[in-house]
């Protein structure tokens, strides 16, 4: 029996019809109405049942892991002759899906619960789940049963086949397909590797480089640095820490004295050098060894296998093509900065050094492209911005969002919304919004997936649920919450992840949003950032909250675009140099990897692709991405370029960024398809052509 709130009940009774009609008639439907509606269409709209106490977190984690272990025991103990897809790979997906759903819930609690004890308990529980997951990767008994069943060459449909392939691939990648002795060697190497990686991170975290300057030397540096606690020393000088990024930026962007900028840049470039260069050299060699033993030519080939690029050579070509494509813009921007320096120093043959780029870029922005971004906040009051974004996403993706009364929220002010298909009225999923800062809450902006879409054994479908944790500026006594343009961009981006999770319709969770390759997952959201730079889109909601007739002037938007474009050639070439350093280190053969000079190799890439590094520095010793994003740094640009390519389809559509036909295609071909087929195929089906870097080059300002 479904409970309904009085308002809906009344309208249902009056019409003598079902809740679906009440929905269509415009009454405010409740969560229960949506759940009943879902049930009739064989959909299940369930909300996460969040644990609320430390005991509950601990006990329910224990029972979740015990239940998973019991199910694994059943899986491994079954008679091979009676095994089916459902009792092998289906069961494995079910077991891991349940544990990850619990992990998602725990992860959200640890980032959002107002009570510190509850957050800490959730963090501990998260670590237990992680350890369980790692142990599962090495479960030979599980792997044997799965492999044995796959060896019977059963007839499978496309989604089942992918699930089988990916599951076995992951076990193969963990070394389980190797003979026992070789597998042990790989495990040993991986243990040493993880110890080295840990050491690399520790050395980065512990590196310190204080430099003391007089007030005169720091001319131009903003007071925010000089007055910051701990900066002013008893002797009257000011201490800049080269290991604190914002200290370094404050000096590099603003210090008029080139020698001060040089000293800080050099100190930055020498951080962790003595300790980390030997560590990194060994990491690179061990990675090459592990890759070879697992059957890959290089570590980057191993790392990219599960990505969209698939092979190191593809990622490398992508980066080198972009280096070339950006060359005219990069050269022109560098020359602009050089002329600025020549005029500023009076030396006609001035050259841009590593410690000049940030300084002259900042000067250029201030002198030529000044946009008062603070003044734009009045156009982005939180409520109208949120409603405006909803209206746009509703139109583009054919949806309707309705706020409902949540049965439980972890903090006051958290909202629950149901997304429904605009045509059928069927719910497609639900999302929570937790949008303002709070003591102890996660302090960035992020999407957390909760329930994942999946087919149910009874033929129904479990609908996905998402959470957004954001930290927009809270309203004050006399002003509403006013977002910056950057905040508004973030909102469009993060809500793109909600859409990606909610609209997936794969049968298995790991073939939905959760499973798409890491170098793709940001692309749809990066694409949606473009909406906030478009006058037609902005005019639908961005208006001065004190006088809604006032819109953002076209000249302001143009000026913002010109400011963004002004130095993108240089900043993307810098990103490319980092991606190519990473790929350079991780495409070495095992033989070369043992003898490579990691500093020489990476500094040479920097000099070729970006501005040459300061002499006697070793940036790579402090390049934290090399643990965790190794072989994957290229992915930032890979997805960005794809995002701009995808956005260009909207740009040429009759209704531009608000075009429903293109939006529908995006929903069907990209979001709904999830990882049920290769994403490159989905993206090209959406584009209606092969992928290209052309739109990206135009976006950075290379006009043909
Ligand atoms: Zn994102």
Compute the distance from residue 429 Cα to the ligand 1 centre, in Å. Answer: 19
What is the reported pLDDT for 260? 98
Query: Is the pLDDT confidence value at 23 over 60?
Result: no
pLDDT digits (tens, 9 = 90+) for 514-561: 899 999 999 999 999 999 999 999 999 999 999 999 999 999 999 999
Q: What is the dihedral of CA 231, 232, 237, 239, to 10 degrees?
A: -10
Give me the mean pLDDT over the 17-22 stretch.
41
* pLDDT for residue 109 is more than 80: yes
Q: Can you list the positions of beta strands (E) in 481-609?
A: none
Q: For 17, which DSSP code?
A: S
Q: In the block, which residue shows the tokens 């492209």?
A: 369
**Pick from 208, 207, 196: which is nearest to 281 by CA?**
196
For residue 310, the SS3 value is coil
Ligand 1 mean position, distance from CA 643 (Å): 12
CA distances from residue 207 to 269, 617, 626 in whole angstroms, order as listed:
11, 15, 16
Distances (CA, A) of 53 to 43, 58, 433: 30, 9, 22
Task: Using the mean position of ligand 1's atoms as its centre, give its distance from the Cα of residue 628 in Å.
Answer: 17
Q: What is the pLDDT of residues 442-488, one digit of tens each?
A: 989 999 999 999 999 999 999 999 999 999 999 999 999 999 999 99
Say if residues 315 and 327 touch (Cβ distance below 8 Å).
no
pTM above 0.85, yes or no: yes
Using a pLDDT cut of 90, give the percent of the chain over it. Answer: 93
Residue 490 CA to ligand 1 center (angstroms) comes to 9
**Which backbone phi and psi does 421 adopt, to 5 degrees?**
-70, 130
Alpha helix ranges (H) inside 270-411: 273-293, 299-304, 312-345, 357-368, 382-397
Task: Report d(CA 420, CA 402) in Å as an integer.
Answer: 8
- Taking the centre of ligand 1 as the mean of its atom positions, its distance from the CA of residue 488, in whole angstroms, is 14
Q: What are phi and psi of 498, to 5 degrees?
A: -60, -45
Q: What spacing in Å lies between the alpha carbon of 641 and ligand 1's midpoint?
A: 15
Q: What is the mean pLDDT of residues 315-324?
A: 98
Closest of 495, 581, 568 to residue 532, by C-alpha: 495
Q: Answer yes or no: is pLDDT of 8 > 70.
A: no
Ligand 1 center to residue 497 CA distance, Å? 7
| Confidence at residue 405, expressed as pLDDT on a 0 to 100 scale | 97
Q: Which residue has the higher pLDDT, 19 or 452?
A: 452
pLDDT score recorded for residue 26: 58
Ligand 1 center to residue 502 CA distance, Å? 15
> What beta strand segments (E) does 38-107 contain?
43-44
Rounded distance from Cα 521 to ligand 1 centre (Å): 8
What does the pLDDT read at residue 25? Answer: 52
Confidence at residue 374, expressed as pLDDT on a 0 to 100 scale:
86
The predicted model gives 315-337 an average pLDDT of: 97
- Provide the Cα torsion 578, 583, 588, 589; round to 10°: 170
pLDDT of 680 higher than 50: yes
In this predicted model, what pLDDT tens digit does every residue of 479-489 receive, in sequence order? Answer: 999 999 999 99
pLDDT in tens, 365-375: 989 998 888 88
The angle that helices 54-77 and 140-151 make with each other, rounded to 10 degrees, is 40
Q: How far is the CA of 417 from the centre of ligand 1 (A)?
A: 21
Distance 15 CA to ligand 1 centre (A): 44
pLDDT in tens, 563-582: 999 999 999 999 999 999 99
User: What are the pLDDT digits (tens) for 36-89?
Assistant: 999 999 999 999 999 999 999 999 999 999 999 999 999 999 999 999 999 999
Residue 28 confidence (pLDDT)? 85
What span, in angstroms and rounded, lies between the C-alpha atoms of 513 and 672?
9
- pLDDT given for residue 703 in this prediction: 78
Residue 112 in this model has a pLDDT that exceeds 70: yes
User: Are 674 and 464 in contact, with CB atoms under 8 Å apart?
Assistant: no
Q: How far apart are CA 513 and CA 506, in angstroms?
A: 9
How remote is the CA of residue 235 from the centroid of ligand 1, in Å?
46
Cα–ligand 1 centroid distance for 282 (angstroms): 33
C-alpha to C-alpha distance for 257 and 253, rounded to whole angstroms = 11
How close is the Cα of 449 to the center of ligand 1, in Å?
A: 12
Is the pLDDT confidence value at 21 over 80? no
Banded model confidence at residue 14, pLDDT cuts 50, 70, 90: very low
pLDDT score for 15: 34
CA of 192 to the centre of ligand 1 (A): 32
Q: Say yes or no to pLDDT of 1 above 70.
A: no
- Is residue 175 over pLDDT 70? yes
Distance CA 691, CA 517 (A): 17
pLDDT at position 594: 95
Q: How far is the centre of ligand 1, averaged over its atoms, from the C-alpha of 468 (Å)?
A: 11
How many angstroms does the Cα of residue 474 sit away from the middle of ligand 1?
A: 22
Phi-psi region of 498 (alpha: psi -120 to 50; beta: other; left: phi over 0): alpha
**Structure tokens belonging to residue 616:** 């006697």
State which residues have CB under 5 angstroms from ligand 1, the bound ion: 522, 525
pLDDT at 10 over 80: no
| Residues shown for the chain | 704
Q: How confident is the model at residue 688 (pLDDT cuts 50, 70, 90)?
A: very high
The alpha carbon of 638 and the centre of ligand 1 are apart by a number of angstroms equal to 14
What distance in Å separates the CA atoms of residue 583 and residue 362, rounded to the nearest whole number? Answer: 30
Q: Residue 537 class from Cβ within 10 Å (0-12 exposed, 13-18 middle, 19+ buried)?
A: buried
Ligand 1: centre distance to CA 493 (Å): 6
């Amino acid at each position: 029996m479904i409970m309904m709130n009085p308002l809906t009940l009344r309208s249902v009774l009056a019409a003598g019809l079902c809740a679906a009609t009440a929905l269509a008639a415009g009454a405010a439907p409740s969560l229960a109405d949506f759940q009943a509606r879902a049930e009739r269409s064989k959909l299940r709209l369930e909300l996460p049942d969040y644990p609320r106490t430390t005991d509950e977190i601990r006990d329910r984690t224990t029972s979740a892991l015990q239940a998973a272990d019991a199910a694994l025991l059943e899986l491994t103990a079954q008679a091979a002759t009676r095994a089916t897809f459902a009792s092998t790979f289906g069961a494995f997906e079910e077991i891991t899906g349940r544990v990850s759903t619990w992990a998602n819930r725990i992860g959200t609690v640890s980032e959002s619960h107002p009570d510190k004890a509850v957050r800490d308990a959730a963090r501990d529980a998260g670590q237990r789940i992680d350890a369980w997951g790692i142990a599962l990767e090495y479960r030979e008994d599980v792997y044997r049963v799965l492999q044995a069943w796959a060896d019977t060459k059963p007839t499978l449909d496309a989604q089942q086949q992918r699930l089988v392939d990916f599951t076995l691939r992951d076990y193969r990648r963990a070394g389980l397909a190797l003979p026992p002795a070789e597998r042990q060697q790989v495990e040993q190497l991986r243990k040493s590797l993880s110890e080295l990686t840990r050491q690399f991170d520790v050395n980065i975290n512990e590196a310190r480089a204080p430099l003391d300057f007089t007030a005169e030397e720091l001319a131009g540096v903003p007071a925010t640095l000089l007055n910051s606690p701990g900066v002013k020393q008893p002797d009257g000088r000011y201490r800049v820490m080269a290991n604190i990024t914002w200290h370094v930026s404050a000096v590099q962007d603003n210090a008029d004295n080139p020698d001060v900028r040089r000293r800080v840049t050099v100190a930055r470039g020498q951080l962790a050098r003595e300790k980390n260069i030997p560590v990194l050299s060994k990491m690179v060699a061990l990675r090459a060894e592990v890759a070879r033993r697992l059957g890959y030519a290089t570590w980057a080939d191993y790392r990219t296998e599960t990505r969209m690029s698939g092979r190191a050579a593809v990622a490398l070509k992508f980066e080198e093509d972009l280096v070339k494509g950006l060359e005219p813009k990069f050269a022109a921007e560098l020359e602009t900065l050089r002329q600025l320096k020549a005029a500023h120093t009076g030396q006609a043959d001035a050259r841009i050094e590593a410690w000049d780029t940030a300084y002259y870029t900042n000067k250029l922005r201030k002198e030529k492209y000044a946009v008062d971004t603070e003044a734009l906040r009045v156009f982005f009051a939180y409520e109208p911005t949120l409603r405006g974004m909803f209206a746009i996403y509703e139109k583009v993706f054919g949806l309707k969002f309705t706020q409902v009364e949540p049965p439980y929220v972890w903090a006051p002010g958290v909202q629950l919304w149901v997304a429904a298909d605009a045509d059928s009225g069927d719910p497609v999923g639900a999302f929570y919004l937790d949008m303002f800062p709070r003591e102890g809450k996660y302090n960035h902006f992020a999407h957390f997936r909760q329930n994942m879409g999946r087919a149910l054994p009874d033929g129904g479908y479990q609908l996905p649920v998402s959470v957004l944790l954001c930290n927009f500026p809270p309203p004050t006594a006399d002003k509403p919450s006013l977002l910056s343009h950057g905040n508004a961009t973030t909102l469009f981006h993060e809500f793109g992840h909600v859409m990606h999770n909610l609209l997936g319709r794969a049968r298995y969770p790991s073939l939905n949003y959760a499973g798409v390759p890491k170098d793709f997952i940001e692309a749809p959201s990066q694409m949606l950032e473009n909406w906030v730079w478009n006058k037609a889109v902005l005019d639908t909601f961005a208006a001065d909250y004190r006088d809604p007739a006032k819109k953002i002037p076209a000249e302001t938007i143009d000026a913002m675009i010109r400011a963004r474009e002004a130095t993108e050639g240089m900043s993307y070439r810098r990103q490319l140099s980092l991606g190519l350093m990473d790929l350079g280190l991780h495409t070495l053969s095992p033989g070369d990897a043992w003898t490579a000079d990691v500093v020489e190799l990476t500094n040479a890439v920097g000099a070729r692709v970006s501005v040459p590094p300061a002499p006697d520095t070793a940036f790579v010793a402090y390049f934290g991405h090399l643990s965790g994003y190794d072989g994957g740094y290229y992915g930032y640009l890979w997805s960005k370029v794809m995002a701009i390519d995808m956005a260009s389809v909207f740009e040429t559509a009759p209704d531009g960024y608000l075009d429903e036909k293109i939006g529908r295609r995006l929903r069907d071909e990209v979001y709904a398809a999830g990882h049920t087929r290769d994403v490159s195929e989905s993206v090209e089906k959406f584009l209606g052509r092969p992928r290209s870097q052309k739109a990206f080059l135009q976006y950075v300002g290379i006009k043909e």
